[in-house]
């Protein structure tokens, strides 16, 4: 069945363009070999003292407590000490240990190469100092194995976490994550804890979008996943600071600020193809249609009102400035034009969820036609005021324009919803793009009774609920 897109045309659904449905991995049977389910990467740089005890402890834990096949991959980032020889010896000693050598430093670079080259359905990493208690490893990967979540992260800042570290590191960590929440609207609590996991199919799609190769890699990975609508599971951890940490805090902080600026700018202009990270399976209950329930209408209306309020303030401010040098009608027209362009762009991205540059010009052109209606309303109101009182004060003009602009705002929302970003009958909103459109053709995503996908053999229910390596920088 064709998919309606924001371009107004029809595209056939391409399953390869989207993530597959999350499914529970087959259960491990007693005595049966399940293959490698978990690949744990340990990035290292000049860690000759701590590498061997880390790998032996991790291997012993997984061998005794993890019910699936596993692999430990030591990712050596251009070490100049005995680290490569120790990693090679451990790989020869243990069948489940591999050693990978990279000639350039950077934790992000190591994770990109090893995760990207792994075939394991669940891929994790942890710091070589094992600051995080290994008892949190099973809770970390369980939501990924069950199909409940796409990524899982350890957190030292959520309720239930038990952390031992100095006041300086605590302050820096909390300040950094507060900055992420304020600047990038992040909802996860701890970006830099060196204890994370991701489902394999998600890593294969997500890694090419992550640019950073150092410490900011973790933050960029999580922000992009969150913006794409992927589910991130957080596990409060027991964590003891490594007193031997060699992270350059100042350099890392500067690199993080640069990364926040770069990532925020890319997200603001819609330069990242996040649609490739959406699932067409309809496993998100918010994609399902219920008869008589207008999907997302209250939220869109609230968002439109918020954008409209800021647009009105912008319009009035521009009008007051332009009125100092121009006639009332010219000042009104220019102020309304500029505020209308900003209003259309904000509503396109924030209210109706359209990202990317495709069809942006068309949407702005339609927005300008809607602007024309507002111009007629406000200009007509000014003309009526001038006819009634040729010497009306600027305050009276502003009062009339407020009322006229409010009426134009209501009409603008109706035109945006019905014409610029329409929602076809029985299908997904055009603004949602092909990912959620394909979901509408999936059993269980349309109105009426929900058809459940039968469980596969051995499968449970699908749920939905800077240049160095070592310990995390904060």
- Residue 151 has phi, psi (to 5 degrees) of -135, 160
Question: What is the spatial distance between Cα 276 and Cα 298, in angstroms, rounded to a whole number?
Answer: 27
Burial of 273 (0-12, 13-18, 19+ CB in 10 A): middle
DSSP 415-457: HIIIIIS---TTS--GGGHHHHHHHHTSTTSSSSSPPPPPPPT
Burial of 444 (0-12, 13-18, 19+ CB in 10 A): middle
By three-state DSSP, how is residue 176 classified? helix
Nearest to 137 by CA among 64, 241, 192: 64
Nearest to 34 by CA among 68, 64, 72: 68
Nearest to 458 by CA among 25, 26, 24, 147: 26
Residue pLDDT tens, the chain, 474 long? 333 333 333 344 455 567 777 777 876 665 555 689 999 999 999 999 999 999 999 999 999 999 999 999 999 999 999 999 999 999 999 999 999 999 999 999 999 999 999 999 999 999 999 999 999 999 999 999 999 999 999 999 999 999 999 898 899 899 999 999 999 989 999 999 999 999 999 999 999 999 999 989 999 999 999 998 899 999 999 999 877 666 777 888 899 999 999 999 998 888 888 877 876 655 666 666 666 656 667 778 888 888 888 888 998 899 999 989 988 888 888 888 898 888 888 888 888 877 767 788 888 888 888 878 877 888 888 889 888 988 888 888 888 888 887 887 788 788 888 888 876 444 444 334 433 333 333 333 333 333 323 333 333 333 334 444 455 666
Output the pLDDT for position 146.
92
Burial of 342 (0-12, 13-18, 19+ CB in 10 A): middle
> Which helix (H) or strand (E) covers residue 316, if one does?
helix 297-322
Output the pLDDT for position 435.
38
Output the pLDDT for position 472.
61
Nearest to 215 by CA among 266, 175, 257, 178: 257
Residues with Cβ within 8 Å of residue 407, at least 6 apart in sequence: 377
Nearest to 258 by CA among 207, 205, 191, 211: 211
8 Å CB contact between 263 and 220: yes
197 - beta bridge partners?
A: 124, 152
Report angle CA 62, 163, 221 to the nearest 5 degrees: 65
Question: What is the spatial distance between Cα 275 and Cα 282, in angstroms, rounded to a whole number?
Answer: 14
Output the pLDDT for position 287.
61
What is the value of pTM for the model shown?
0.66
8 Å CB contact between 434 and 114: no
> Which helix (H) or strand (E) covers residue 107, if one does?
helix 107-117
């Amino acid at each position: 069945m064709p998919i309606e897109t924001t371009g107004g045309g029809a595209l056939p659904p391409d399953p390869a363009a989207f993530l597959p449905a999350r499914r529970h991995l087959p259960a491990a049977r007693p005595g049966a070999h399940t293959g490698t389910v978990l690949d744990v990467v340990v990035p290292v740089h000049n860690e000759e003292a701590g590498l061997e005890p880390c790998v032996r402890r991790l291997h012993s834990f997984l061998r005794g407590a993890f019910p699936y096949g596993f692999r430990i991959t030591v990712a050596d980032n251009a070490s100049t000490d005995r680290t490569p020889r120790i990693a090679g010896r451990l790989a020869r000693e243990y069948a489940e240990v591999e050693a990978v050598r990279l000639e350039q430093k950077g934790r992000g670079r190591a994770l990109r190469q090893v995760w990207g080259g792994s075939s394991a359905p669940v891929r994790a990493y942890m710091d070589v100092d094992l600051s995080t208690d290994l008892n949190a490893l099973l809770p970390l990967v369980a939501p990924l194995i069950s199909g409940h979540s796409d990524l899982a992260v350890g957190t030292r800042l959520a309720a239930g976490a038990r952390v031992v570290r100095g006041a300086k590191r605590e302050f820096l960590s909390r300040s950094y994550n507060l900055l992420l929440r304020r600047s990038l609207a992040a909802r996860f609590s701890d970006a830099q804890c060196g204890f994370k996991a991701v489902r394999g199919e998600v890593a294969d799609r997500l890694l090419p979008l992550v640019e950073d190769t150092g410490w900011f890699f973790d933050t960029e990975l999580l922000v992009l996943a969150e913006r794409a609508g992927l589910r991130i599971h957080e596990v409060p951890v027991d964590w003891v600071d490594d007193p031997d940490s060699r992270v350059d805090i100042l350099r890392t902080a500067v690199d993080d600020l640069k990364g926040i600026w770069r990532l925020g700018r890319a997200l603001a202009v819609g330069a990242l193809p996040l649609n490739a990270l959406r699932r067409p399976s309809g496993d998100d209950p918010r994609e399902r249609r219920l008869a008589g329930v207008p999907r997302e209408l209250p939220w869109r209306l609230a968002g439109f009102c918020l954008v409209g309020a800021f647009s009105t303030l912008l319009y009035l401010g521009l009008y007051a400035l332009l009125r100092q040098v121009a006639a009332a009608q010219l000042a009104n027209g220019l102020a309304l034009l500029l505020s209308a362009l900003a209003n259309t762009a904000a509503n396109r991205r924030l209210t109706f969820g359209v990202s990317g540059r495709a069809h942006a010009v068309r949407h702005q052109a339609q927005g300008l036609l809607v602007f024309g209606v507002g111009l007629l309303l406000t200009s007509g109101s000014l003309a009526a005021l001038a006819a009634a009182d040729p010497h009306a004060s600027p305050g009276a003009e502003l009062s009339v324009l407020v009322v006229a602009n409010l009426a134009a705002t209501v009409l603008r929302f109706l035109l945006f919803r019905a014409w610029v970003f329409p929602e076809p009958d029985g299908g997904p909103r055009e603004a949602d793009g092909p990912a959620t459109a394909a979901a509408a053709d999936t059993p269980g995503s349309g109105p009426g009774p929900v058809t459940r996908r039968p469980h596969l053999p051995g499968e449970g229910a699908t749920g939905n609920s800077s240049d160095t390596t070592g310990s995390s920088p904060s």
